[in-house]
Amino acid sequence: MFYEDQGNGLPVIFLHGFPLDHTMWQHQTAALKGSYRVITPDLPGMGQSDIPQEPMMLDEYANRIIALMDHLNIHKAVLAGFSMGGYVAFSLLSKAPERFTAVILSNTRPESDSQEARINRFRMAASLLENGSVTARDAMLPKLLTGHTLEKDSHRKEMLSKTMLAMKPEGLVLACLSMAYRKDSSELLAGMHMPALVIAGSQDIVTPPEIMEQMAKLIPNAHYAEINGAAHLAPLERPEDYNRILLDFLQKLGS
Ligand code: MLT
């Protein structure tokens, strides 16, 4: 599994979304690595990580993250998950809560897929095999950034598009199937006993702010923050606002 490990201090592990890789966290890595140890893996089958040769449910993605922590001698870390990375975070918190001291859930949702959403994942998987990663790029790009950013910031749009087109379709198919069969994590969240930060984008249509706010209410003592002018990919679209909220949360945890 590909990963980057930068800086020293309290370890923070960032898990990216679909169909993305560790580069979605570039602004958070830059802002944190002076004071924290920042670990940004590419989930199996995505980015520069190899395609797994076994069926992948979210628990298997989580197992690989625990193995990476063991490999890096990280006993405990702060866990940050964005969207699909949030689903992997739920699985990690259910399997090995003792390995995490705090959690940041960004643009994600606790409930499992409806039957309709599941069928759409199968359609996406079929089209990925037929047409390649352009399927995922075309489906996701208009949702990741606001219309305003897509229109005004061609550099960011092109960079994201390139990242998504470079994905291996088979890896994305495994990710689609794992998300289609994910469990509901509401009960897990309601029973959580660690500092939690929930971050939403005001214009996110994939994981709308209403859902994120409800999720934050489920988690005992969670802090909820909404970023104005951000669509789904809030950490990359509004990095300054995002980092301010993130650093404020991390600083309160101490070291
Ligand atoms: C993601 O951003 O990781 C995906 O949109 C999540 C999902 O499709 O449920």
Give the residue carrying structure tokens 């992948």.
56
State what percent of residues in the chain have pLDDT above 90: 99
- Indicate which residue's Cα is closest to atom 4 of ligand 1: 18
Q: How far apart are the first and last CA of the chain?
A: 28
- Three-state SS annotation for the chain: CCEEEECCCCEEEEECCCCCCHHHHHHHHHHHCCCCEEEEECCCCCCCCCCCCCCCCHHHHHHHHHHHHHHCCCCCEEEEEECHHHHHHHHHHHHCHHHEEEEEEECCCCCCCCHHHHHHHHHHHHHHHHHCCHHHHHHHHHHHCCHHHHHHCHHHHHHHHHHHHCCCHHHHHHHHHHHHCCCCCHHHHHCCCCCEEEEEECCCCCCCHHHHHHHHHHCCCCEEEEECCCCCCHHHHCHHHHHHHHHHHHHHHCC
- The pLDDT mean for the chain works out to 97
Query: What's the CA gap between 81 and 34, in Å, rounded?
Result: 21
Query: How much of the chain exceeds pLDDT 70, in percent?
Result: 100
pLDDT band of 254, cuts 50, 70, 90: confident
Taking only the tens place, the pLDDT of each residue in 201-247 is 999 999 999 999 999 999 999 999 999 999 999 999 999 999 999 99
Point out the ligand 1 atom lying closest to the alpha carbon of residue 206.
5
Q: Residue 96: how many CB atoms within 10 A of its CB?
A: 14
Rounded distance, CA 158 to CA 168, Å? 18
Residue type, 149: T
Strand order through the sheet with 37-41 = 3-6, 37-41, 11-15, 77-82, 100-106, 196-201, 223-227
Q: For 157-187, what is each residue's pLDDT tens digit?
A: 999 999 999 999 999 999 999 999 999 999 9
Find the residues whose C-beta lies inside 6 A of ligand 1: 17-18, 83-84, 179, 206, 232
- For residue 201, the cross-strand partners are 227
Q: Measured in angstroms, how far is the CA atom of residue 18 from the centroid of ligand 1? A: 5
**Of 58, 83, 90, 237, best ligand 1 pocket probe by most atoms within 8 Å of the beta carbon:** 83
Question: Is-contact 146 138, C-beta < 8 A?
Answer: no
- pLDDT at 144 exceeding the cut of 70: yes
Mutate to test the pocket of ligand 1, among 16, 61, 84 (most ligand atoms within 8 A of CB): 84
pLDDT at residue 255, as a whole number: 59
40: its two tokens: 């940004």
Q: Residue 157 is encoded by which pair of tokens?
A: 């749009």
Q: What is the mean pLDDT of residues 40-51?
A: 98
The pTM assigned to this predicted structure is 0.98
